[in-house]
Amino acid sequence: MEAELLIVPTEEYHASEDCETTSRGLYSFYAAVMIIIFLLAIPLNISILHLFIVKLKFWKTNTNNVFLFNLVLADILLLFCLPVKAYNFIHGERRSENDVVCKAMLFMLFLNRGASIAFLTVTSIDRYFNVVHPGRKNLLKALKRSPQISILIWLLLLPLTIPTMLKTFECCNSHKSYNSTENRDDAVVKDVVDSLREVVFFTQILIPFMILLYCTVRIVNRLKRKTVGDKTKLRRAMFLVSSVMVLFSVCFLPCTVARIVLLVARVQEWKELSEDAAAQVFDGLMVLSFIDCLLDPLVYCFCSTKFKNIYLGNYFPCILKKHEHPLENSTSTANTNPKRDNVNTAY
């Protein structure tokens, strides 16, 4: 009994120490970056969401507006996690020590990051069919006419959040070494849940990355061979589709590699300083990944001249008046011959 009483405080202390940051200054910087992203991205995303609902009435269109609306919605929900993470970082905690808060944050991150990546991927697949196979009938083209497809995507993502709700785990850490006095069955269950959580994390990023890479290569090759149409628009289309690939790679691939390194450090039980350094790098790259919520609207929504003019006309009319082509002219021009060039409909 006395030996067991001596072990318990040690385990509690280890769990507490594992949640604490060893570099308060570095994590304060991370918190400041997240606050800046939050302050810049929230008004931008909310204004676009308002535009989709009030002005564009996205549910009545047969374009990408339904997918883009859900992409922006997922980004907004993900952004609301940033103040909580910033609060923890400022107070020297890598994760919340409160089990409920910790799991709620993981649920929000898994669901909304997954939704953001899913709608980003679906939008790219739709562009792929519009540019590479413009005349071919496909299931996605039929389904996107109904908002129910977006509801289905959200529902399919819910099972991926189950690993975040299972079993109590110390400070949201995966594959930590467990005390020898712990029940063996409990340790096995923790390993299974941790593995499921990591599979979801990597699946949400790596599979969409491969799909985006394939779509990007095929679209760019198709646009390069295209001889009909405005060369300026073709170059802009190639730039935009390439920028989506670069954006995804910069935001998500570095934190994926850092996560692999951190898991190796934990499983192989590296020295404490090495594991702590790996954790700090991973946390920093996860903060970098949140910039995706700020750049998504710029890449997907403002790539359309018509949408940009509508946005400026509603929120910044004084800026629009300085342009040579007013909103009415751009709108009428866009509607004169909408099927003239597949690049226009896709971008």
Distance CA 70, CA 182 (A): 44
In this predicted structure, the answer to whether residue 171 has a pLDDT above a threshold of 80 is no
Rounded-to-integer distance, Cα 197 and Cα 330, Å = 48
CA 119 from centroid of its chain's CA atoms: 10
Q: What whole-number distance in Å separates Cα of residue 207 and Cα of residue 213?
A: 10
Q: What is the pLDDT of residue 9?
A: 42
Instruction: Return the higher-pLDDT residue of 322 and 306.
Output: 306
Phi, psi of 83 (to 5 degrees): -60, -35
User: In the chain, where are the structural domains located?
Assistant: 9-170+184-346
**What does the alpha-carbon distance between residue 264 and residue 258 come to, in Å, rounded to a whole number?**
10
According to the model, what pLDDT value does residue 86 have? 94
Angle in degrees, 0-180, between the axes of helices 148-157 and 65-79, rounded to the nearest 10: 40
Q: pLDDT grade, residue 183 (50/70/90)?
A: low
pLDDT value at position 153?
87
pLDDT at 331: 43
Higher-confidence position of 221 and 130: 221
Cα-only R_g, the chain: 23
- Is residue 259 scored above 50 in pLDDT? yes
Q: For 321, list phi and psi in degrees, rounded to 5.
A: -65, -20
Residue 131 pLDDT grade (very low, low, confident, very high; cuts 50, 70, 90): confident
Q: Is the pLDDT of residue 99 over 60?
A: yes
CATH number of the structural domain 9-170+184-346: 1.20.1070.10
**Dihedral sign (CA 217, 115, 156, 158):** positive
Tokens 């069955």, located at residue: 185
**What is the per-residue pLDDT for 10?**
40
Q: Which residues of 179-208 are buried (b: 16+ CB within 10 A; e: fewer)?
A: eeeeeeeeeeebeebbebbbebbeebbeeb
Task: Give which of 289, 276, 286 is closest to 21, Cα–Cα.
Answer: 276
User: How many other C-beta atoms are found inside a 10 Å radius of the C-beta of residue 73?
Assistant: 20
Mean pLDDT of all residues in 24-48? 94
Q: How does the average pLDDT of the chain come out, rounded?
A: 77
pLDDT tier at 291, thresholds 50, 70, 90: very high
Mean pLDDT within 265-270 = 81
Question: Is pTM beyond 0.85 here?
Answer: no
What pLDDT score does 206 carry?
93
Distance, C-alpha 131 to centroid of its chain: 25
Helix (H, G, I), strand (E, B) or coil at 93: strand
